[in-house]
Amino acid sequence: MRTTILVTGGAGFLGSHLCDRLLSEGNEVICTDNLFTGSKDNIRHLLNNELFEFIRHDVTFPLYLEVDQIYNLACPASPVHYQYDPVQTTKTSVHGAINMLGLVKRTGARIFQASTSEVYGDPEVHPQPESYWGRVNPIGIRSCYDEGKRCAETLFFDYHRQHEIEIKVARIFNTYGPRMNPEDGRVVSNFIVQALKNEPITIYGDGSQTRSFCYVDDLIEGFVRLMNSDPEITGPVNLGNPGEFTMLELANLVIEITGSKSQITYMDLPQDDPRQRQPDISYAKSALGWEPSIQLKDGLTQTVEYFDNLLKEGV
């Protein structure tokens, strides 16, 4: 018997890589997406695969399917997109979680939630372990995403306690790689596109704020390990790369890899932008035997190649 796996948000950046991985292991994959930030281009190579099925569906509406596992990824992930319609963003996290958890209650499937490091807000603890409860502004312009994801976590744990369903909650830290949306304003794609076009590279603030960057293949390995871990491992589990880089270091690395003539320019920091973000992945290491192995320079080189092709195709 094949395992049938639902991936919500499967036409997005992470979702499409996850679909690739699950299909490569012989699973049947149902990908649902409302194509808000995702694209059929990300899954076009899968459309003729008989083990793959795409359904255009908004996760805020119920869905009735028979599945063994669900990866719930549907949610715009970048500030430009999640702030475009903040009410819909909260609905996507909260109603989406309720709908998928309801499906699990009926089918007995196991469910994975793509939560986020944003649940830690602008943290006073560094690096962030899972036991840290976070420092989140509930009424700011990022709150639709941060609080939506926090509420989704609450729902996952309440369904788990109340209905004894099997949950797997991953807190994902900044991830990058091919198929990121070039328009989404995230720092890696921004810098790469600006560098490839020889346009000024814009750093918000003085460039000393740090981020950690995980390459997509490392992250997807973490997803699959968590999903297939023992039932008592519910998470939350931090998944990300603890290697910490300042924005200035990232910009210089991108300039080096692309051989760009871009100059660096500085702009004001956006509201609620966290100064530092770095995962403590001790728990992922001990519970899943997982840690990232792809160096930033190698991952960036792959990503630059993808964006270079995209720009050459005129996308």
Ligand X SMILES: NC(=O)c1ccc[n+]([C@@H]2O[C@H](COP(=O)([O-])OP(=O)(O)OC[C@H]3O[C@@H](n4cnc5c(N)ncnc54)[C@H](O)[C@@H]3O)[C@@H](O)[C@H]2O)c1
- Which residues bind to ligand X, rule: CB under 6 A? 8-9, 11-15, 33-38, 58-60, 73-77, 92, 114, 116, 172, 174-175, 181
Phi, psi of 141 (to 5 degrees): -75, -15
Residue 8 or 194: the one with the smaller Cβ distance to ligand X is 8
Residues 14, 20 contacting (CB under 8 angstroms) = no
Say if CB 184 and CB 261 are below 8 A apart.
no
Q: Quick one: 260 or 299, whose CB is closer to ligand X?
A: 299
Q: Which is nearer to ligand X, 28 or 118 (CB)?
A: 118
Nearer to ligand X, 262 or 299 (CB): 299
CB of 62 to ligand X, least distance (A): 12
Do residues 67 and 107 make contact, with C-beta atoms less than 8 angstroms apart?
yes
Q: At what angle do helices 86-107 and 143-163 cross, to 10 degrees?
A: 20
Give 118-150 as a 3 state SS string.
HHHECCCCCCECCCCCCECCCCCCCHHHHHHHH
The Cα 15–Cα 152 span in angstroms is: 18
Count other Cβ atoms within 10 Å, centred on residue 3. 16
SS3 7: strand
| Token pair in block for residue 256 | 């080096």
Query: Based on CB atoms, which residue is closest to ligand X, 9 or 79?
Result: 9
Q: What's the closest the beta carbon of residue 77 comes to ligand X, in angstroms?
A: 4
Closest CB 274 distance from ligand X, rounded Å: 13
Whether 106 and 78 have beta carbons less than 8 Å apart is answered as: no
In whole angstroms, the minimum distance from the beta carbon of 92 to ligand X comes to 4
**Closest approach of ligand X to the CB of residue 189, in Å:** 10
- The one catalytic residue among 71, 82, 145, 176: 145
- In the residue annotation, 64 being an active-site residue is answered as no
Q: What are the residue numbers of the active site?
A: 145
